[in-house]
Amino acid sequence: REAIQLAKRMEEFDPFWFEEPIAADDYEGHRRLTEATTIPIATGENEYTRYGFRDLILRGQIPILNADAIICGGVTEFMKIAALAQAFDVDIAPHGPQEIHIHLVAALRNGLILEFYRDTVDPMWGKIYRHTLTLNDDGTVSPPDVPGIGIEPNYKALAPYRVE
């Protein structure tokens, strides 16, 4: 009920989406919220299985999923979730590490947006990988031109945090 009240108050500002307003497994709550507001609801960063995402789509009527390849079972499982979402005209806006998700969202017909972290969010973010992504002047991000998925840890930067 509180999420519906807040959504109604936010509608005049026309937000792009309302993210994670209620628990991921409250499918009935998601359905009620989606029906009660004009703001698209985005959720899924706290969902871990394709079956949970299926229920968010079918029972919760969610228009935008924030799947995270790190927590939902890896790249293959993420792509299965994205294919399921595409079958129901649901967009994917991945949550989490942009270095992993840039390739995935670029490969999707229903890829909506890439979450992008700047160093100001977490000072270590721009140091933990050898090849970091940069935000282009036009607001886009280009995938790395290195082999594979493009993630190579910066072991030198991570060394002070090593635990034995």
Residue 95 among the catalytic residues = yes
Nearest to 133 by CA among 116, 157, 112: 116
Nearest partner of 128 among 100, 106, 92, judged by Cα:
100
Residue of 95, 101, 103, 131 with catalytic role: 95
Name every residue whose Cβ is closer than 8 Å to that of residue 61 and which is 6 or more positions away in sequence.
30, 31, 34, 35
CA contacts within 13 A on the Cβ side of 72: 29
Residue 65 makes CB contacts below 8 A (sequence gap 6+) with: 42, 43, 44, 47, 53, 56, 57, 81, 85, 90, 91, 92, 93
Asked if residue 135 lies in contact with residue 141, where contact means CB atoms within 8 angstroms, the answer is: yes
What is the number of residues in the chain? 164
Q: Which two tokens stand for residue 50?
A: 């394709």
Catalytic residues: 95
